Amino acid sequence: MNDVLSDIRVLDFGRYVAGPYCATLLGYMGADVIRVERLGGAEDRAIAPVTKDGEGAVFLQTACNKRSVCLDLRSGEGKDIARRLVRSADVVVANFPAQTLKKLGLDLDSLQALKPDIILANVTAFGEEGPWVNRGGFDGVGQAMSGAMYITGTPGGPAKAAAPYVDYCSAVLAALGVMAALRERDQSGQGQQVSGTLLGTALSVFNSHLVEQGVLGIDRVGTGNRVQTSAPSDVFATGDGHVLVHCPGDAVFRRWARLLDLEEWIDDPRFATDQDRGDHRDEICAPMVDWCAGRSTEEALETLAAAGIPAGPVLSPREALDHPQVAALDLLRSVDYPGAPAPAPVAGLPFKRTLGGPDVRNRPPLVGEHTDEVMTELGFSQDQIAALRSAGAVG
């Protein structure tokens, strides 16, 4: 087993997704992650509740391998415990605006006064400069402001992706930044701050479209599922469902044209390039509509695969969980959590390392489940812990 971060302690002050999932990824690579939350549990435990006590699906995805410590950071005792935790840590993860970090004593200056080589990973909506610096935001705001919703939808009907890709990509990028900062610390002995933004992530993911707009001023409008830069690339109805077909590149287009007995289109100058085909997408997609409509999803996919044309079924969440290729990836871990009516299929690391160890080792923690354990590690006696609990400083 090679838990590459087994000597690293992470304090997770984050909420919702971008901060917590960053810490989760570090925990999947072996870090000791301590989730610091308010007495009674943080508000992000309750999104999409799936247990009898109200813990939610987002929490179950973003809290495996963590230990939970509950502190009242408004009290002097709670702040003192937090400072002792910082001195024991290597990384602090948060996703709060700068003024909130300062108020909580989690800004870089305050942290480095306690631990000079500490690394702070902070993800905010809009960063630390600019007219929106003090505004909050969530995943959908990033999707909306990057241009993605405008193009994903149709004219007059912008559409947000249900998958919160801005949040999760921000978490992944923050974790990458932490790994780079740890490497830098190994070389220089210095800590630093890794800062990410939801808007910056959204702009980065959507950047090719912005490049095209900036260079050509093309002013595209949304076309829903129908791709504008190749064809036939769209979602097509079959006799019993839908399939997504994507045909970029001359070789794939030629294979598709032969499959549909449209060889004359291969040398048609109107369809010479991907963009030419994208510009004639409605004409090119029309025969594909008819072809798919006359076949079952399974028949369409088997025929397309045999012809070397990329395609996949449009699956419901239930169908996704049951698909044999999903099972073959061995990504979803069966996690039992108290009060859940069934094990939760929690995604582990979506990549494999030949020298890597297990990713999901422990279920998400109950509220304050490890307060006593962690405080004992910090040097508090059982009598001191009991007194602090009676005073309402810990839970």
Residue % of the chain over a pLDDT of 70: 99
Rounded to the nearest integer, the mean pLDDT of the chain is 95
What confidence tens digit (pLDDT) does each residue in 39-87 have?
Answer: 999 999 999 999 999 999 999 999 999 999 999 999 999 999 999 999 9
- The residues, any chain, with a CB within 8 Å of residue 248's CB and separated by 6 or more, are 229, 230, 233, 274
Three-state secondary-structure class, residue 337: coil
pLDDT of residue 363: 97
Which of 319, 344, 332 lies closest to 56 in space, CA to CA? 344
pLDDT band, very low/low/confident/very high, at 285 (cuts 50, 70, 90) = very high
pLDDT of residue 3: 85
Domains of the chain: 9-205+327-390 (3.40.50.10540), 242-313 (3.30.1540.10)
What confidence tens digit (pLDDT) does each residue in 319-369 have?
Answer: 999 999 999 999 999 999 999 999 999 999 988 888 877 799 999 999 999
What confidence tens digit (pLDDT) does each residue in 18-35 have?
Answer: 999 999 999 999 999 999
Give the active site residues.
167
Separation CA 233–CA 395 (nearest Å) = 54
Q: And the tokens for 249?
A: 């590149």
In the predicted model, is pLDDT for residue 1 greater than 60?
Answer: no
Q: Indicate the angle between helix axes 207-216 and 198-205, nearest 10 degrees.
A: 70
pLDDT of residue 355: 81
In the predicted model, is pLDDT for residue 2 greater than 70?
Answer: no
What residues are paired with 335 via a beta bridge? 344
Residue % of the chain over a pLDDT of 90: 93
In the predicted model, is pLDDT for residue 159 greater than 70?
Answer: yes
What residues are paired with 245 via a beta bridge? 234, 311
pLDDT of residue 353: 84
What confidence tens digit (pLDDT) does each residue in 165-211 have?
Answer: 999 999 999 999 999 999 999 999 999 999 999 999 999 999 999 99
